[in-house]
């Protein structure tokens, strides 16, 4: 495991003690929070990305697998940056599948919104774009918060490719979810559809907005002109 310690050493050179104090609160690592038990050393995302670019060509998937199972949040996020970079450079289907398999085998450790949002649409998105997507519906229908967020966030890549159906179907599965991290993610993805095809988003909202959690709706209509926003918020559509 030649590169694991080198990565950790480089990350520790970038420790910011103010960040180390702030991040557990920001990511709700306190008892009862969605990130309960997570540990932080206080390294910024730009520093982690820089280190990922430095090592990604040489670090192995076995090493990334071990780094992704570490208790330190920044180690796991950096491991995901490695995977994203490796997926982007992968030349064969076998290489891509190995990366996807590693990702799916480690969803237990992809356990906060930044970890999901930095990786799902960049790895699972392109992999499943032209493949069967049953797994995403299994994730969405599970009772696992982070698998559910992975499901909806993976579809961001589909949206960028003007494929909206799976986002809308998964949004329906999650529409009555109790957690605001799902409300925000679903609303965000609906807004991204609207950025590309306003009619598709509007028609979906018109049918479902009254049953949506308020946060989900607010995220979805964030860029609507004020009069239309208010009509949605007041239930007048």
Indicate which CATH number applies to the domain containing 183: 1.25.10.90
164 burial level (CB within 10 Å; 0-12, 13-18, 19+): buried
- Out of 76, 111, 146, a domain closes at 111
Q: Are residues 39 and 104 in the same domain?
A: yes
Q: What is the DSSP string of the chain?
A: -TTHHHHHHHHHHT--HHHHHHHHHHTT-STTSTTTT-B-----HHHHHHHHHHHTTTS-HHHHHHHHT-SBHHHHHHHHHHHHHHHHH--SHHHHHHHHHHHHTTGGG--SHHHHHTTHHHHHHHHHTTS--HHHHHHHTSS-HHHHHHHHHHHHHHHHTT--HHHHHHHHHHTT-S-HHHHHHHHHHHHHHHHH-HHHHHHHHHHHGGGS-HHHHHHHTTTS-HHHHHHHHTT--
- Out of 81, 111, 141, a domain closes at 111
Q: Are residues 169 and 141 in the same domain?
A: yes
CA-based angle 188:191:196, to the nearest 5? Answer: 135
Rounded CA gap, 139 and 133, in Å? Answer: 10
- Out of 61, 82, 111, a domain closes at 111
Q: Are residues 105 and 4 in the same domain?
A: yes
Q: Using a cut of 0.85, tell me whether the model's pTM lies above it.
A: yes
Q: Are residues 99 and 146 in the same domain?
A: no
Closest by CA to 146, choosing from 103, 176, 187, 188, is 103
Q: Are residues 126 and 47 in the same domain?
A: no
Q: Are residues 38 and 55 in the same domain?
A: yes
Q: Are residues 47 and 105 in the same domain?
A: yes
Q: What is the pLDDT of residue 4?
A: 96
The domain of 77 spans 1-111
Q: Are residues 179 and 134 in the same domain?
A: yes
Q: Are residues 208 and 139 in the same domain?
A: yes
Q: What is the pLDDT of residue 200?
A: 98
Q: Are residues 104 and 132 in the same domain?
A: no
Rounded CA gap, 49 and 57, in Å? Answer: 13
Q: Are residues 134 and 236 in the same domain?
A: yes
Closest by CA to 1, choosing from 49, 59, 53, 48, is 59
| Averaged pLDDT, groups of 10, the chain, 237 residues long | 92 96 97 96 98 97 98 98 98 98 98 98 98 98 97 98 98 97 98 98 97 97 96 94
**Dihedral sign, Cα of residue 71, residue 89, residue 136, residue 197:** positive
Q: Are residues 81 and 148 in the same domain?
A: no
Total number of domains in the chain: 2
Closest by CA to 125, choosing from 136, 141, 114, 137, is 136
Q: What is the pLDDT of residue 60?
A: 97
């Amino acid at each position: 495991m030649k590169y694991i310690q080198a990565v950790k050493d480089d990350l520790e050179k970038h420790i910011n003690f103010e960040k180390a104090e702030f991040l557990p609160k920001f990511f709700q690592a306190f008892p009862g929070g969605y990130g309960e038990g997570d540990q932080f050393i206080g390294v910024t995302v730009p520093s982690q990305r820089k280190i990922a670019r430095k090592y990604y060509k040489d670090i192995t998937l076995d090493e990334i697998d071990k780094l992704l199972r570490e208790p330190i949040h920044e180690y796991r996020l950096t491991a995901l940056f490695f995977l994203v970079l490796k997926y982007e450079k992968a030349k064969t289907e076998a290489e891509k599948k190995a990366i996807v398999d590693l990702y799916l085998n480690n969803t237990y450790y992809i356990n906060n919104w930044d970890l999901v949002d930095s990786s799902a649409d960049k790895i699972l998105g392109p992999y499943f774009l032209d493949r069967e997507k049953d797994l995403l519906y299994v994730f969405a229908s599970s009772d696992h918060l982070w698998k559910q967020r992975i499901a909806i966030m993976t579809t961001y890549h589909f949206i960028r490719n003007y494929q909206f159906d799976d986002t809308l179907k998964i949004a329906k599965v999650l529409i009555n979810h109790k957690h605001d991290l799902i409300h925000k993610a679903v609303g965000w993805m609906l807004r991204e559809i609207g950025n590309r095809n306003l009619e598709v988003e509007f028609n979906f909202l018109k049918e479902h907005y009254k049953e949506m959690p308020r946060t989900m709706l607010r995220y979805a209509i964030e860029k609507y002109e004020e009069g239309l926003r208010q009509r949605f918020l007041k239930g007048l559509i």
